[in-house]
Amino acid sequence: MSLSVKHLLGIKELNVTDIEQIFQTADKFKQVLQRQIKKVPTLRDITVANIFFENSTRTRLSFELAEKRLGADVVNFSASGSSVSKGETLIDTVNNILAMKVDMVVMRHSASGAPWFLANHIDASIINAGDGINEHPTQALLDAYSMREKIGNLKGKHITILGDIMHSRVALSNIYCLNKLGAKVTVAGPPTLIPKHIESLGVRVEYNIKKALEWCDVANVLRIQLERQHKPLFSTLREYALYYGVNKQMLDSLKKDIVIMHPGPINRGVEINSDVADSKQSIILDQVENGVAIRMAVIYLLSGKREME
């Protein structure tokens, strides 16, 4: 088993067989994670560097845990407190890390395209842990895997992605992944947060949140990414919550039970209320749990190893 790509830069470059292979491998690693000893020695001769130029909680911890569960040696690098602040370039930083005999690099960067740039300059396999407003491939894989676990084969299923679509790498990677798996996708939110011509990616646009929720089997709710908004795109967070926030009253008014997802971090009371985030319909923590198995699968498949344990 191996992927058609050397790096995991984006979902755009994967084919359906790659995605299915990642899911099948994640199924096996999920079983390992249920055992008392949640670890295999598969990658004991591999060293992985997690280099994060942007903040992260889930992705970073999930990758580190996945690498350790596979028996790899792990080094962690954060831009804050590093020599990046002294003017070192991305390539110099990474080459210095690679000189310490690192085999694989997991990178998050605020610049869209940074992992592709790096892939053209170094030999190690690169996994994109989120680049600017472009892609977050492992998030989309764990999202689709979690949806499939909950509602079965995604072919023909209706998925709504709701919120700040404009600034979301999770939205773009989800759209690529869900399209490849045959799901039907609607993006919903205020007009100012939905890119013009997004229909060209094969999605529907719906500005009415109730209609968007009524249409779907699963709603993936996204956070407002204020750190990427350089001019006001809506009046206030309170107004956003009033018109686009998902609350229990809204869910109860639908004619069916839909599955609620969120990639995190959650802004409770803004895009989602606690009575929804913590409800039985929410699979938010299942997403986090599945993230470790998905990342183990990606790292394992990119490593070129043939034995899982």
Q: How many residues bind ligand CP (CB under 6 A)?
A: 11
Nearer to ligand CP, 135 or 206 (CB): 135
Parallel/antiparallel/unpaired status of strands 204-206 and 184-188: parallel
* Interatomic CA distance for residues 167 and 308, integer angstroms: 37
Which one of residues 115, 189, 245, 263 is an interface residue with ligand CP (CB under 6 A)?
263
Q: In Å, how far are 11, 143, 202, 219 from 199, measured between CA atoms?
A: 18, 21, 5, 18
Only one of the segments 3-11, 95-103, 154-162, 262-270 lies at the binding site for ligand CP (rule: CB under 6 A); that segment is 262-270
Can residue 80 be called a binding residue for ligand CP (CB under 6 A)? no
Nearer to ligand CP, 103 or 135 (CB): 135
Which one of residues 57, 82, 192, 235 is an interface residue with ligand CP (CB under 6 A)?
57
Can residue 115 be called a binding residue for ligand CP (CB under 6 A)? no
The closest alpha carbon to 159, from 171, 142, 141, 168, belongs to: 171
CB of 59 to ligand CP, least distance (A): 3
Rule CB under 6 A: which of 129-168 touch ligand CP?
130, 136, 139
Can residue 76 be called a binding residue for ligand CP (CB under 6 A)? no
Only one of the segments 29-37, 58-66, 179-187, 242-250 lies at the binding site for ligand CP (rule: CB under 6 A); that segment is 58-66
Parallel/antiparallel/unpaired status of strands 204-206 and 218-221: unpaired
* Interatomic CA distance for residues 138 and 170, integer angstroms: 9
Which one of residues 216, 264, 273, 297 is an interface residue with ligand CP (CB under 6 A)?
264
* Interatomic CA distance for residues 129 and 146, integer angstroms: 18
Q: What angle do CA 61, 79, 266 make, to 5 degrees?
A: 45
Which one of residues 21, 42, 47, 59 is an interface residue with ligand CP (CB under 6 A)?
59
By beta carbon distance, the residue nearest ligand CP is: 59
Parallel/antiparallel/unpaired status of strands 125-131 and 158-162: unpaired
Nearer to ligand CP, 40 or 224 (CB): 224
CB of 107 to ligand CP, least distance (A): 13
Nearer to ligand CP, 130 or 184 (CB): 130
Nearer to ligand CP, 245 or 264 (CB): 264
**DSSP string covering 57-102, please?**
SHHHHHHHHHHHHTT-EEEEEESTTSGGGGT--HHHHHHHHHTTT-
**Residue environment code for 91-124, b if the CB has 16+ CB neighbours within 10 A, otherwise e:** eebbeebbeeebbbbbbbbeeeebbbebbeeeeb
Residue ranges binding ligand CP (CB under 6 A): 56-60, 130, 136, 139, 263-265
